[in-house]
Amino acid sequence: MRIENRTARFGQVLSATLVALWLVAVAVAWLSDPSDGLSVHWTWLIIGGFGIGALGVLLLANRRPAITLDIGGKGDMTLTEATLFRRRSRTLPAQDVLDIALVDSEDQDGDPYIRVVLVLADGTQAVIAEGHRREDVERIAGMVMAALGRV
């Protein structure tokens, strides 16, 4: 069974797209030749500000990895954490899972937001599912618990 939390991947791809658009703006500004000297400085100042913002968003989006959890027939699992620049996979026995917790919170609009957090023996906490619909998130938590033999 494979569980993928792609919420973080969406932010990573969106931020990489923002950086790509910024690079296009730099190329257009580099190739253009404004007639007066003042607009050149303002153009590069504005593009520089957007560049700092784009790189900041890229770094912020890559702080949270996209999680993939593969559970084999015997309960052994592979936990993969991936950002745009790094991928780390670990194979773990089912006994390394201390808890599968449902964490209730609120999003920025005050709507309920639920996460399924996998707590490992080494202290690692991986968000394997999340969303606004409690039924969907609880179903995924139940599937993981059943695959690990914890029903």
64/82 Cα distance (integer angstroms): 9
User: pLDDT for 74-98, tens place per residue?
Assistant: 778 999 999 888 999 999 988 888 8
Distance CA 45, CA 35 (A): 17
Domain ranges of the chain: 8-61, 67-147
| Residue 91, pLDDT score | 92
Burial label, 50 (beta-carbon count in 10 A; 0-12, 13-18, 19+):
middle
* Residues 6 or more apart in contact with residue 69 via CB below 8 angstroms: 2, 3, 4, 77, 78, 79, 80, 118, 126, 128, 144
pLDDT digits (tens, 9 = 90+) for 96-112: 888 899 999 998 899 99
Q: Which residues of the chain have pLDDT under 70?
A: 33-38
Asked whether the whole model's pTM tops 0.85, one would answer no
| DSSP reduced 3-state for 145 | helix
